[in-house]
Amino acid sequence: MTHQDSKPLTGTPALAQDLTRPEEIRRAAGLTAEEMAALLGMGDYGYSAWERGARTPGGPALKLLALIATDPIKMIAALRKA
């Protein structure tokens, strides 16, 4: 865990009907949870909260996940260059 991970969670609380599936998107892209968190510019703890269902991604993160799901190879390459 990094220092960033020790901060309290912020963001949108998880909803019962969560339509996003960060873990499925990550696994389909062939990434570890740590790699996905880094790719999205967030800490491991915050990202793992999405996978555990404690929080849901919103705003720009939700868009990035949708883009990664659509074309993982192209989007991962673009995000790694950024």
Taking only the tens place, the pLDDT of each residue in 9-51 is 555 544 433 445 999 999 999 999 999 999 999 999 999 999 9
| Overall average pLDDT of the 47-65 stretch | 93
Six token digits for residue 31: 């990434």
Residue 51 domain flag:
yes
6 lies in some domain: no
Residue 50 counted as domain residue:
yes
Q: Which pTM was predicted?
A: 0.73
Give dist(CA 6, CA 27) in Å, integer.
Answer: 25
The parent domain of residue 49 ranges over 21-81
**How far is residue 17 from each of residues 23, 53, 56, measured CA to CA in Å?**
16, 11, 10
Domain of 27, CATH number, reads 1.10.260.40
Q: What pLDDT score was predicted for residue 29? A: 95
Question: Domain for residue 63, yes or no?
Answer: yes
Overall domain count for the chain: 1
68 in any annotated domain:
yes
